[in-house]
Structure 1
Amino acid sequence: MTYGSVRLYRRDWSPEQVHRRVDSLAAAGMVLGHLRTGRITALSGEWETCGEQVEMDRESLLAAMIRLDGKHFTFQYWMADDEDADVVCTLTRLGDVVVEDYGLDGFGGPVYRKGQDTVIRPLLAEFRATGPSAVGLVVDRWGPALDTDLDDIVTGGPTPVTVVPELMVLRPDIARRNFDLGRLVPFGDFLARDTDGILALAGSE
């Protein structure tokens, strides 16, 4: 078990973009319906039932993703090639920025890095496809940055980078403020600190 995650930061969280995200991930093998049962499930955030599955239909789940009532919404994607593998996704609204936090829990430790890569690879593609609405991306494979306010760092806040996740893709001004330029590599219009070679999963520019 790990506590790693991939976080995508973006603006323009419109109904059209929500539908595009879900359809694009489905084409890449991350689907809303369980492979065998077809069930679509959110996860309760209520104290008494926290983490319990709440069955929903597709349109109700998409509507909840769009509204983000209470600023948080958590649900499950399922890997189309493994009915036992799920990716918990929590959406959080930070002002005009939405954070998509995709959990890597259950994809194993370092020996099972390839399992994590099946999640990371399509999310790198999603970041690219977000275009001008993209704000930043973080891959924290094993969770050492769990207690770091990554959201504040990515959105330009004053929190220092004291624990460096394996990949941070930041706007150039934010990247230069936090890292030596010699340790940064370009990724589209962004600069990245990539300590694990993760950007290789994205293929060529």
Structure 2
Amino acid sequence: MSDEAQLSPHLDGLPILRSEEDMEAIQKRMSSLVGEVARESATLENHLRQLMICLLDSKYAAVVAAGLGASELIDMCTALVKINREVTDTQRAECRANLATLKPLFAKRNQLVHGQWLPEHVLETEPLPDRALALVSKRRMAPTHVDISFEEAEELAYDLNRAGSEIFAWICRSLLTQLRAEQVTDAFP
């Protein structure tokens, strides 16, 4: 018997799987969406860092904001906008409303970016998937399965982009002078 006949799934009772090309296309689509979400979240995080710098209004603010993660930036900006005397109550409320929407976006982002994406194989008789299952593991917790459609991933990238644009637009409307302020970023000699 030839090697080809021995490996044929229909001869040994195993189900026939979709072609490697089909599955590779699905994996590429998932990877593209994960990359898009990662890129948009990085841009949003950069806008948050800029917001913190403007709210601190110090030439050393860039050093203080450097290296903070998204959650820390959101918390710090929320605290700073609450006490900043250079913004109006209306501006303060708008900024706080924008900031309040961000943690759920970053939580979804983390599931998408840090999850192990499945399926790796689909039966030939099944349609190609339009969603994926992420195996997400958090600190000191058992892994959980999160089902995310490609459409939901596209919406998340869009929502992250929109949120970043709103944060930056708020900075430009409310703290333009601080946005233009020079920052000390070089290490002391």
Scaled by the length of structure 2, the TM-score of the pair is 0.26
Query: Which one has a larger percent helix, Structure 1 or Structure 2?
Result: 2
Select the structure of larger CA radius of gyration: 2
Scaled by the length of structure 1, the TM-score of the pair is 0.24
